[in-house]
Chain A
Amino acid sequence: GAVVSQHPSWVICKSGTSVKIECRSLDFQATTMFWYRQFPKQSLMLMATSNEGSKATYEQGVEKDKFLINHASLTLSTLTVTSAHPEDSSFYICSARSQDSKNIQYFGAGTRLSVL
Chain B
Amino acid sequence: GQQVMQIPQYQHVQEGEDFTTYCNSSTTLSNIQWYKQRPGGHPVFLIQLVKSGEVKKQKRLTFQFGEAKKNSSLHITATQTTDVGTYFCAGPHNQGGKLIFGQGTELSVKP
Contact = CB atoms under 8 A, between A and B. Distances in A.
The prevalent SS among residues of B at the interface is strand
Contacts of B78: none
Contacts of A109: 41-42
A43 B104 CA distance: 6
A105 B42 contact: no
B45 A104 contact: yes
Nearest to B45: A104
A97 interface: yes
B108 to A, nearest CB: 12
Interface residues of A, number: 21
Interface string A55-97: 0010000000000000000000000000000000000010101
Contacts of A42: 103-104
B98 A102 contact: no
A12 interface: no
B88 A105 contact: no
A43 B102 contact: yes
B31 interface: yes
Contact of B101 (A43, A97, A104): A43
Interface residues of B, number: 21
Nearest to B103: A43
Contact of A97 (B35, B42, B97, B104): B97
A44 B42 CA distance: 10
Among A34, A57, A104, max chain B CB count under 10 A is at A104
B38 to A, nearest CB: 11
Contacts of A32: 97
B101 to A, nearest CB: 5
B102 A34 contact: no
B41 to A, nearest CB: 7
Given A93-B42, A109-B42, A110-B42, A104 B102 contact: no
A86 B5 CA distance: 30
Interface of B: 31, 33, 35, 41-45, 48, 88, 90, 92, 96-99, 101-104, 106
5 contacts: A44-B43, A46-B99, A93-B42, A93-B43, A105-B33
